[in-house]
Chains A and B, each alone.
Chain A
Amino acid sequence: KQEVTQIPAALSVPEGENLVLNCSFTDSAIYNLQWFRQDPGKGLTSLLLIQSSQREQTSGRLNASLDKSSGRSTLYIAASQPGDSATYLCAVPNAGNNRKLIWGLGTSLAVNP
């Protein structure tokens, strides 16, 4: 049974810092891994999708890496800004049913000006 864990649960940093959010999963037989951002009142925004054959994806100041063998993914945010404050969620498709996502509990990030 796939389980997804995110560490830390909450993070507060001053503006400008580089930071790393961690996601781990118990079943390494995944098709892909997604990182989402959740803003209150705005729903979920898909940030990055990493296929199982890839090791990393980059979008602007965001870089996500994937290490299937160790069951880990990291989301690196460079030069953090107050606008980055949100909850970040990682999710993997459930084995045998790609439409069903297994989610972590998220990391609540606060970037202080």
Chain B
Amino acid sequence: DTAVSQTPKYLVTQMGNDKSIKCEQNLGHDTMYWYKQDSKKFLKIMFSYNNKELIINETVPNRFSPKSPDKAHLNLHINSLELGDSAVYFCASSQKGARWAFFGQGTRLTVV
């Protein structure tokens, strides 16, 4: 049973398109995150939701919009994709107060 699952694993799309990446966790955690891994393998946090409320919103373009329909899901929608959006995006979850985070397998987004 996958704890944190992301779909799709790979996404290749053209500039200007709108796409979504889905994330689901079955761990019963109340906090979920989206990270972007850059070419140097740094993981930079983008968003964090706790009980469906946005608690961290780092400086990312407005084209990126997270949506949390419930505590177990945090989807990432990206409008007007640009070449620079190409990266691996990781979803993660944790329980509030815990210092562990469980990560998904990542979604490799390639914008052409």
Q: Which residues of A contact B (CB under 8 A)?
A: 31-32, 34, 36, 41-46, 49, 87, 89, 91, 93, 97-101, 103, 105-106
Q: Is B34 an interface position by the 8 A CB rule? A: no
Known A87-B41, A105-B40, A106-B41; judge A43-B99 contact (CB<8 A).
no
- Interface flags, B14-52, vs A, CB<8A=1, else 0: 000000000000000001010000001111010010000
* Nearest CB of A to B49, in Å: 11
Known A31-B99, A49-B99, A100-B56; judge A43-B90 contact (CB<8 A).
yes
Task: Specify the chain B residue showing the minimal Cβ separation from A42.
Answer: B105
Total interface residues on B, CB under 8 Å, equals 23
- Give every chain A residue within 8 A of B56 (Cβ-Cβ): 97, 99-100
A-B contact pairs, 27 of them (CB 8 A): A31-B99, A32-B99, A34-B99, A36-B103, A41-B9, A41-B106, A42-B105, A43-B104, A43-B105, A43-B106, A44-B103, A46-B100, A46-B102, A49-B100, A87-B41, A97-B56, A99-B31, A99-B45, A99-B48, A99-B94, A100-B56, A101-B101, A103-B42, A103-B43, A105-B41, A105-B42, A106-B41
- Give every chain A residue within 8 A of B41 (Cβ-Cβ): 87, 89, 103, 105-106
Q: Are A46 and B101 in contact (CB under 8 A)?
A: yes
- Give every chain A residue within 8 A of B100 (Cβ-Cβ): 34, 46, 49
* Nearest CB of A to B40, in Å: 6
* Nearest CB of B to A44, in Å: 4
Question: Which residue among A34, A42, A49, A103 has the maximum number of chain B CB atoms within 10 Å of its CB?
Answer: A103
- Give every chain B residue within 8 A of A87 (Cβ-Cβ): 41
* Nearest CB of B to A6, in Å: 10
